[in-house]
Amino acid sequence: MLRLRDITPRGLYARSMLMVIAPVVLILSLMSWYYYDSHIAEVNRKLGQSIARDASLVQAYCDRRQDSLLDRRTIDERLDMTFTCDSDAANIDRSSHVNVFSYSRTLDDELETRLGVPVETALDPRDSMLHLRFPSGPRTVEIIVERKRVLTVNSHFFIVWVILFSLFMVMLAIGFLNQQVRSILRLSKAARAFGRGRDVPDFRPSGANEVREAARAVIDMKNRLTAFAEQRTAMLAGVSHDLRTPLTRLKLALAMMEETDDIKAARADLDDMSMMLDEYLTFARGEEGDDPGDFDLAELVRDAAAGFGPHVTVAGPERIMVNGRRLAIKRAVTNLISNATKFATDTQITLVDGPHAADIHVDDNGPGIAADLREDAFRPFMRLDEARTQNTPGTGLGLTLARDTARAHGGDLRLSDSPLGGLRASLRLPH
């Protein structure tokens, strides 16, 4: 079933233009139809009747009718037309005359109705004079009259002025819409940049009052989120520092003790706690200190994969240029590769350079994650013991950090079944 929204434009600018242009075109079409079909047609019909009445007087004069009260001088002076009662068609060059012109059919009908004989009409384009020829007994009458007495010659000026005025109004509407849409696009661009952790120093509210209010709300929200993130980072940095001190003391105390199985287990627990503190602090700080820029994503992935040994292979284009925070993306890719190598013996990375985004597919042959548990895998500190053993080291922040990084760059991270039989992690980054 065809719906209206399927054939109408999707963008605000195109829809606004349609709302402006469609009524203008409709009104112009209706005005033109009424003007030509009603007004101009009626005017030309009245003019045709007037010429037909004058031609009937000439006909009566040429027939020497008793009811003709006009003489030749009166007709020439008052009717403002030239005529001859004995036209010689052989001596008249009518090859250049126009037999069919605007409203010629209307004029012919009026003349034939009034005179009762067929009338031949032709227009001489050289002097814009209209020639009327009709039989009158054994004679042929020819009347020459100015075209302006028969037809309206400037009717098209009305349509021209209407079109010009409509175009002028459309241009004004286009300028106004450009200004309003430009403000909305600037707001959208700034909001997208704020969502990716980037600042837009030259952004200021502009446009209509509603757009300005939305821009101020976005700026206020960005300021509150920035202040919250800074407070969180400062608090967690302090907590990390306070916890590192007793952890260091415990490590020193254990180092001075006799090496036993319990001591080894305690040291391993302390190492896990230190790693958790580091990753938690990294999660809290986000992308602080990592400025965005252009870099080669393919080179970054190959460098990250090289740190895990030759069993991690990379396939795809040799060069993929993207814009983003290089360190954050490298950390996300490293986390994905690390998760794959922990639970699998074969890990393959595939790079895909699409028209709008670049995809990084990390496949493994491990146990995978059930489809109904994949969304839970992105929760911070979440350990899926059914798919991942408790003996495997980790804090449960790898996937969380990776997806946060992808979404901060306008992309996403998805989990699916791998062709290798395990899990596929697909990281998408827009160009």
The per-residue pLDDT for range 176-211, each reduced to its tens digit, is: 888 888 888 888 888 877 776 677 777 888 877 888
Q: Tell me the C-alpha distance between 159 and 24, whole Å.
A: 13
346: left (phi over 0), alpha (psi -120 to 50) or beta: beta
Instruction: Identify the pLDDT of residue 381.
Output: 63
How many beta carbons lie within 10 A of that of residue 29, not counting itself?
10
Reported confidence tier of residue 348, pLDDT bands at 50, 70, 90? very high
Instruction: Identify the pLDDT of residue 387.
Output: 44
Stronger pLDDT, 409 or 300, i.e. the higher one: 300
Instruction: Identify the pLDDT of residue 169.
Output: 81
How many beta carbons lie within 10 A of that of residue 217, not counting itself?
13
Q: Tell me the C-alpha distance between 128 and 150, whole Å.
A: 11
In the predicted structure, residue 64 carries a pLDDT above the cut 80:
no
The per-residue pLDDT for range 255-270, each reduced to its tens digit, is: 888 778 888 888 777 8
Ranges of H-type helices in 104-208: 104-115, 156-195
Q: What is the mean pLDDT of residues 262-283?
A: 74
Q: Is the pTM of this model over 0.85?
A: no
Q: Tell me the C-alpha distance between 80 and 74, whole Å.
A: 10
Q: Tell me the C-alpha distance between 406 and 325, whole Å.
A: 10
Q: Tell me the C-alpha distance between 133 and 124, whole Å.
A: 13
Q: Tell me the C-alpha distance between 341 and 206, whole Å.
A: 51
Counting residues of the chain whose pLDDT is more than 70, the rounded percentage is: 81
The per-residue pLDDT for range 135-161, each reduced to its tens digit, is: 877 778 888 888 777 766 565 676 777
Please name each of the domains of the chain with its CATH number.
4-153 (3.30.450), 290-430 (3.30.565.10)
Q: Tell me the C-alpha distance between 324 and 297, whole Å.
A: 10
Q: Which residues of 377-390 are buried (b: 16+ CB within 10 A; e: fewer)?
A: bbeeeebeeebbee
| Strand stretches in 303-346, DSSP E | 312-315, 321-325
